[in-house]
Amino acid sequence: MAVNARAYIDCDALTHNLQQVKNIAPNSHVMAMVKSNAYGHGVDYVVDYLTNADAFGLARLGEAERLRQLGIKKALVLVEGFLEPEELRAVEQYDLEIVIHQHWQLEALKQQPLQKPIRVWLKVDTGMHRLGVPGNQVNDILSELKNCAWVNPKIRLMTHFASADEVDSPQTIQQIKNFNDVARNINAETSLANSAGIMAWPDSHGHWVRPGLMLYGASPFIEQAPNDNSLLPAMTLTSRLIAINHVPKGGSVGYGATWQAPEDMAIGVVAIGYGDGYPRQAKNGTPVLVKGNVCPMVGRVSMDMITVDLRGYSDAKIGDTVTLWGNGLPVETIARWADTVPYTLLTGVTSRVEFLHL
């Protein structure tokens, strides 16, 4: 009996979620974010189910090279641009689009003649203060880019939101205004909205939207927000019960004896731990599903195992399937119990887990 932890990837859910993006933002092109191995879902497979996207967004040159090697012809955008001037040769070789967000990138680009024009996106800092050029410098930088013979003159403008996952955030309203003030008199395609922007801030949709987390069926919002229910989870992480122990009242379970049994009871041991990517900081009470039945986790998460309270499922037996997140148990719920966000859980599943793309 195999007891490996498994991540089942529902590829039809990816297609469904992309269609939800198009339904919510019907007038926008879609740049599907597949960075970080498609948010942990396996980019080699995921891209085949996101063919209706207009472009793919990536963070590193190596990620883009991988997709070209797979035969992907679609537009590929490096959302951090090039990280050193030498990468511009590969940008040209693999026909990539780049984001310019720093003056040094502009200067490096001007000094590196290329054989054919490349597509450039100019990132504007509208208040996140991470990447992007100040709004009052945009026109001068656009002029310099358009005077560069190896830059496609149809430059696009983009920005990124700091707090779009907070539906009452005044910062997002201000960022949209700041961006519109810059872009109003510039004839350029625009991109503002990440997943949260797509779902909750329709004024931000622009010419391009950039869905990430929502493509994988998870909500970026802490609480229920518009359109949450339209998404289907793409990853279901499972394992199995490998032991059932009968613990007397007062008996402790796991490292540090941080939890004691309130009565004589059955405890199940599940073959999954932080070595598989299950969050070590998950608290007592974090729900898991044992053969579809909700059972709370108790004791500390260890590298290879967790323990669960089986009082709510008296018919449990060794070998029962245990769902850690996915169908029937949203990854957002586990993230809240672990004081983290779904992004870290999905991208943190380790290579020890067996991936099955369905």
Q: Which residues pair with 296 in a beta bridge?
A: 287
Active site residue 8: no
Active site residue 146: no
**Candidate list 35, 39, 49, 278, residue with the active-site label:** 35
- Cβ contacts of 308 within 8 Å, gap of 6 or more: 267, 268, 270, 288, 290, 295, 296, 297, 298, 322
Q: For residues 243 and 236, what is the distance between their CA atoms, to the nearest angstrom?
A: 22
Six token digits for residue 34:
């597949």
**CA distance between the termini of the chain:** 21
Six token digits for residue 170:
């005044």
Q: Which of 92, 36, 33, 38 is nearest to 57 (CA)?
A: 33
Q: For residues 259 and 249, what is the distance between their CA atoms, to the nearest angstrom?
A: 11
Q: For residues 333 and 106, what is the distance between their CA atoms, to the nearest angstrom?
A: 43
Structure-token match 């073959």, residue found = 271
- CA-angle at 176, arms to 174 and 179, nearest 5°: 105
Q: Which of 103, 135, 142 is nearest to 120 (CA)?
A: 142
What DSSP designation does 279 have?
A: -
Structure-token match 């990620």, residue found = 63
What DSSP designation does 64 have?
A: H
Six token digits for residue 303:
């590298």
Cβ-count burial of 74 within 10 angstroms (0-12 exposed, 13-18 middle, 19+ buried)? middle
**Candidate list 154, 177, 255, 317, residue with the active-site label:** 255
Structure-token match 């402790």, residue found = 252
Six token digits for residue 24:
């919510």
The catalytic residues are: 35, 255
